[in-house]
Amino acid sequence: MKKYFGTDGIRGRVGHPPISADWILKLGWAVGKALASTESGRKQVLIGKDTRISGYLFESALEAGLSSAGVDTLLLGPMPTPGIAYLTRALRVSAGIVISASHNPYFDNGVKFFSSEGTKLPDDMELLIEAQLERPMVTTDSRLLGKAVRVRDAEGRYIEFCKNTFPSTLDLHGIKLVIDCAHGATYRIAPSVFRELGADVIEMNVKPDGFNINEQCGSTHPTVLAERVIQEQAHAGIALDGDGDRVIMVDHTGAVVDGDELLFIIAKWYAETARLTGGVVGTLMSNFGLEIAFKREGIPFYRTAVGDRHIMEILKKNAWNLGGESSGHIICLDANTTGDGIVSALRVIAAMCCSGRSLNELKKGMTKYPQTLINVPIETRANVIDHPKIKSALQDAESRLNGQGRVLLRPSGTEPVVRVMVEGQDLATVESVASELALVVQGSMI
């Protein structure tokens, strides 16, 4: 069992263990020692971050820890998570480190890692890092200390990468887009990508101050974007999250297009243009309507546990190239090795350009089932499914749906909450079942 690593690295409240300066310092050292034990020769590690205020603190701490273990660091500054994955591969370094809490508010932060291939670290490497954390921190000899340099052209490299994932036969001239960067890591990069491809770009939330990242904006709050799309009479809106690995879109009518719908649009375009290899991977949270739509299109669909790590596992196992989550975390494995909000949006817009159809028309190929998700705060990581009262309430909930829906209870891997998800044909029943089940979970976990 891992003590610190969750489904997406290590995350928590800044100043509260383990997200503190002294611990992050030792984490950098532990990563350096773990790399030294698995590879020969001099090591280099990339460090990138989003725009939250604590990024300065933890960037310095990680740099010092890595240097004390004899590892050189390349500092990227603010950079989307998928950009760090790409540059880790492109610059052929030993690993990439992301300082980010993704879609969380500014007072949270975290650290996640990429291997030299730009993929999440394997379990054995995370366990090795945790084992090093239990040992006393010893600084290497002064002659062997690591050096740090800043990569000056990091943004430009990633911008060109994103542009090159868009079909060379297409451009975006005549297309108006509103882009909400959530005051996050994409605030300079995303507008540049779409503008350089020819789009008329209206920017939103591109003035980070260290505290406003994800604040009532971005992929978790697309309402304001929807209003702006209508106001500007734009073709579509693009909402990214703080670290740029998720995307939610808005069509020209102001309707929100979520990750399941975007995944369907991309998959259908892939299938029509012979880009799809095999099928598509979703998660336990994917809408049942997505499964039905794929069945109608003859596209194989596989559900896995929530988290991009699990999606990647099935993609690699089956040699497939597309998967994603309802949250907008979509992996186009033919382009990048992790979820990439900019690349995913480019894929959707390419489908619009190739078909001559609006985003509103394209999403109609999938009919979503009513789904309610309630996050219940908890103070313990106990297995909620094993609690007698919760187990009984879960059986009652499934009985009420009478085989015409799904119920899912899942502890979050990144937040101290239990996610209660209910899905079915009738919205009133779905909301009633979800509310009652959430109350039982809340009462039982006190």
Nearest CA to 308 out of 347, 337, 274, 349 is that of: 337
Structure tokens at 15: 């100043």
Active site residues: 102
The Cα-based distances of 349 to 197, 207, 269, 415, 431 in angstroms read 12, 25, 10, 32, 34
Instruction: Provide the β-strand partners of residue 109.
Output: 12
Beta-carbon contacts of 356 under 8 Å, excluding residues fewer than 6 positions away, are none
Structure tokens at 99: 């300082």
At residue 295, φ and ψ (nearest 5 deg) are: -65, -40
Instruction: Provide the β-strand partners of residue 10.
Output: 111
Question: Look-up: residue for tokens 């009479």?
Answer: 233
Residue 362, classed as helix, strand or coil, is: helix
Helix residue ranges per DSSP H, 165-307: 189-196, 223-232, 259-272, 288-297
ω into 18 cis (within 30 of 0): yes
Residue 45, classed as helix, strand or coil, is: strand
Structure tokens at 68: 């004390």
Q: Residue 413, CB half-sphere, CA atoms under 13 Å: how many?
A: 13
Structure tokens at 414: 């990144």
Beta-carbon contacts of 241 under 8 Å, excluding residues fewer than 6 positions away, are 102, 103, 182, 184, 214, 218, 219, 220, 247, 328, 341
Residue 98, classed as helix, strand or coil, is: strand
**Dihedral angle, C-alpha 130, 132, 138, 141, nearest 10 °:** -120
β-pairing, 71-78 vs 148-150, is: parallel
Instruction: Answer left, alpha or beta for residue 299, where phi above 0 means left and psi between -120 and 50 means alpha.
Output: beta
Nearest CA to 244 out of 48, 417, 71, 401 is that of: 48
